[in-house]
Amino acid sequence: MGFAYDFDWGVLWRQPYGIWLLQGLWLTIKIGFVAWIVAFFLGVLVGTLRVTPWRWLRFISTAYTEIFRNIPFLVQLFFWYYAGPMIFGESLGRQINQIVGLNFYVAILALGLYTASRVAEHMRAGFASISRDQYQAVLSTGMTQYQMYRYVIIPYALRIIIPPLTTEFLTIFKNSSVAMTIGVAELTFMSYRIDAETFHGLEATTGAMVIYLILGLTVVRAMGIIEARFKIPGMIGRE
Amino acid sequence: MFDAVARNITFLLGGFVVTLQLTFFALAGGIALGALVGLGRISKNKWIFQPVTLYVNFIRNMPLILVIFWFYFVMPIIAGRPLNPFLSAVISFIIFEATYFGEIFRAGYQSISKDLTSAAYSTGMTYIQTARYILIPVAFRRMLPSLITQSIVTFQDTSLAFVIGLQEFVRRTSIVDNLEVRSIQLFGFVAIIFFIFCFIASKISRHFEEKGRKLGMI
């Protein structure tokens, strides 16, 4: 059987297409990094609130994780992008819609909020793995609740959950591809755009796959170094 | 409040049915292939183990959207004719989700200790009986919470078939939104429907997890 398809791998380095993929990669990295900063701090906060003694804060943070985990990310992204500005009323909403690069900011925000719920879940698991004695030992030194979380429990839990956080960090770059649906020109978007111009989508998406693979392997290697540096001996191990 | 939803409810629910169909085929194929992938991942034969591991690690590094596109481009070349987006989407979901289900099966298979098998043999059970009455039920109970969780993820993932123009729930909602411009209620509606299904399923998963923990199985 002969394939009625002329492969043209040259499309990957012919200009401007090769540059497009690299520009897409750069945007993917930017979105991933900034969204991760949002996700990390918000996730640690929400995850910590889930174990605090205050019932209302526990309820709010639990609701947050349940809502963001149980709705597809695509739906969340569309909601923030299309419905988000409308929440602020007609006139303000129109102004928001005129912001240049709105889709980029919305993608970062949506991805950050979504990933925060996942970070919060890992945080909770991290807290659960710290024994009650540990908490009591800290309090017995005269620390306040706030000091206990700030200086002992949170850093401790974070070090325990580095492996799952590595996975989340990897996932954030993969999920950033969903931003293409609102027109953010990241890597997947660019491979699709090359198809629209050249009809060589197979080569373009294969090229994008290789780039994602290299990105993923780089992240794993970098996180491996961080893991080795911060691990608590005898407490974490990768599967 | 939900007037635009009400006006287009049959069209929207029609999209939800497509989403359910996608989920059904993705799960059936993904779990079946995943069970085999899991076996491959514990295989002692390197000609099986290495290709399967390569497949799993490669796919797990890819964004699902890109995999959907790739199959959308590659299937017509293999088939020699344009393929409908539904079939193309189902194939990409099966290939993609099978790697995630595969890792769940691998963990399930590995969680069965040699002692359990030996104990079953020592009572005079045959291999078939051991598998049928001991190994499969034990492994299944251990894997059930993770299988349900991954099924929820798959259900949510099907929304990404949006990108190849498949008229599932989200695509139809965005079509309606283009005409009605009622984004808050329309996307709010989709979000609520997804939330209800996923929330209930996640509670069921947690129920089995608690039960397993009480029985000392997890």
Q: Looking at chain A, which residue has its C-alpha nearest residue B197? A: A70
User: Are A188 and B80 a contacting pair at CB < 8 A?
Assistant: no
Residue B99: which residues within 8 A CB-CB, separation 6 or more? B34, B37, B55, B56, B59, B60
Q: What is chain B's pLDDT, residue by residue, as a tens digit (218 residues)?
A: 788 777 888 888 898 999 999 999 999 999 999 999 988 998 888 899 999 999 999 999 999 999 999 999 888 888 877 778 899 999 999 999 999 999 999 988 888 877 888 888 899 888 888 888 888 888 888 889 899 999 999 999 999 999 998 989 999 999 988 888 888 889 999 999 999 999 999 999 989 888 888 776 55
Interface test with A, best of B195, B200, B205 (most A CBs within 10 A): B195
Residue A84: which residues within 8 A CB-CB, separation 6 or more? A96, A106
Q: Hey, what domains does chain B have and what are their CATH numbers?
A: 3-214 (1.10.3720.10)
In terms of Cα–Cα distance, which of B171, B5, B6, B188 is closest to A84? B188
- Residue A96: alpha-carbon gap to chain centroid: 24
* ipTM, 2 dp: 0.89
* pLDDT tens digits, one per residue of A140-195: 888 888 888 888 888 888 888 888 888 899 999 999 999 999 988 888 888 888 88
User: Are A205 and B64 a contacting pair at CB < 8 A?
Assistant: no
Chain B residues inside the 8 Å CB shell of A25: none
Say which CATH architecture domain A9-230 belongs to. Orthogonal Bundle (1.10)
- Distance separating alpha carbons of residues A84 and B160, to the nearest angstrom: 21
User: Are B198 and A71 a contacting pair at CB < 8 A?
Assistant: yes
pLDDT for position A234: 62
pLDDT for position B76: 84
Average pLDDT, chain A: 86
Residue B49: which residues within 8 A CB-CB, separation 6 or more? B40, B41, B43
The C-alpha of B135 sits at a distance from chain A's nearest C-alpha, in angstroms, of: 22
User: Are B63 and A191 a contacting pair at CB < 8 A?
Assistant: no
pLDDT for position B217: 59
- Tell me which amino acid residue B145 is: P
